[in-house]
Amino acid sequence: MRTDHSAHSRSSMLGTGITLAALLLAGCPGTLEHKERFLVAVAGASNDSDGGAVPVEAGSDADTGSDLGPCGDVVTRIFVPSCGGTGCHDATGPQQDLDLVSPGVAARVVGVPGLGCASTLADPANPEASLLYQKLSPTPPCGSPMPLARPELSEEDAACVLAWIAAQQ
């Protein structure tokens, strides 16, 4: 009994060709200019108290400005994981009515008095006097240092928060 190997070979080559064409058409994933924005948006950035993801609009120009500078997006890089990721200042049950996770953080903190503390949350004219910045020190003017029950921010990250406040003019 004789088999036609050439027909089988052509069929195999056709299948390989179709597979290769499909792979080529799928293309390369490319690169992202602002990878951190994509990762925050995809990952949901933080967890709520029930363990679900809290969506975050990463890189909102209202919060960060168009030039992210050396600190990156302070809201998504610092506020979301350090302040909102603990379930303290997220959108679902913000402590002291302070949501530092949802889009529009600047509008909620600039010129707004803190609850329980006689300071403005964010004062771009005097960023060092801003409660958001003062709460990052080991001895804030009122209440506990932040972030509560989390590692303190590095000096660099605290400086970035200060720069973010100053930039909100």
- pLDDT for residue 137: 95
CA distances from 83 to 12, 27, 29, 55 (A): 57, 39, 33, 15
Interval 35-47: pLDDT, tens: 444 333 333 333 3
| In the chain, where the domains are located | 35-166
Instruction: Please report the pLDDT score of residue 2 as a whole number.
Output: 52
- The Cα 127–Cα 46 span in angstroms is 26
Q: Do 162 and 133 touch, CB atoms closer than 8 A?
A: yes
Mean pLDDT by groups of 10 residues along the chain of 169 residues = 52 51 42 40 35 36 53 94 85 91 95 93 97 96 91 95 96
Question: How many Cβ atoms are within 10 Å of 52's Cβ, its own excluded?
Answer: 11
In this prediction, residue 93 carries a pLDDT of: 86
pLDDT at residue number 18:
54
φ and ψ at 43, to 5 degrees?
-75, -15
pTM of model > 0.85: no
Give the rounded distance of the alpha carbon of 138 from its chain centre: 25
pLDDT attached to residue 59: 39
Type and span of the H or E element at 46: strand 46-47
| Per-residue model confidence (pLDDT) at position 37 | 40
